[in-house]
Amino acid sequence: MALLIMLRHGESEWNRQNQFTGWVDVPLSSKGVEEALKAGELIKDIPIDVIFTSTLIRAQMTLALAMLKHVGKKVPVFLHEGEGDLEKWGKIYSPQAESHTIPVYKSWRLNERMYGELQGLNKAETAEKFGKDQVKIWRRSYATPPPSGESLEMTAARTIPYFEETIVPFLRQGKNVFVSAHGNSLRSIIMDLEGLSQEEVVSLELATGSPLLYEYNEGVFTKKELQNG
């Protein structure tokens, strides 16, 4: 048995300004920092062996802030696989120091859905221009992408193989995994884990800074309740 924690990043500056963000790499807002710290309180007593995140700063900030609250007091260390000298020169030579770290793997496959020509636009103004129903389809539907962007289906085509091929093997080994990512990259994974239909996923909304907990046992994921404190 192993545990999987999934966390949508805290509020970003563009969440605060009600703008489509996608792959634009904006940081957390002040509220987002607070949300990340509160999320850390919720997961602080759960042992964590390995962390996965996207290449976007809002997800990375969230995990770093959340881990400040963790009772294990281990330091998240961001790995730079395939990044030349950054990978080579970032080697830890002290076994004792390394034993007090948690490896953090980054991948663009966990990035938010790319919103194409909507990125940077105000959501309310976009709804006025194109209609609320059309914008809801772009934001929540499974197969319809925004202009020049990704649909949830297209997002799932990168997130689910990465999850199954890279993250699940750690769970099979009995390792507890923490994934800090984004609303739509996590929606696509949850859709697969919970067997949601294309119609059901439309209403799936993930709040910023609210961790989800799943128990993994012999290939089966079971959603669990998180207890505060």
CA distances from 212 to 100, 161, 223 (A): 25, 20, 8
Which residues carry a binding-site annotation for substrate?
8-15, 21-22, 58, 112-115, 123, 139-140, 183-184
What pLDDT is recorded for position 228? 60
CB-count exposure of residue 204 (10 Å: 0-12, 13-18, 19+): middle
Kindly list the catalytic residues.
9, 112
For the chain, domain boundaries: 2-224
What pLDDT is recorded for position 202? 85
What pLDDT is recorded for position 157? 98
CATH architecture of 2-224: 3-Layer(aba) Sandwich (3.40)
Give mean pLDDT in consecutive 10-residue pieces for the chain, a chain of 229 residues. 98 97 98 98 98 98 98 97 94 97 98 97 96 92 95 97 98 98 97 93 93 97 83
Which residues carry a binding-site annotation?
8-15, 21-22, 58, 112-115, 123, 139-140, 183-184
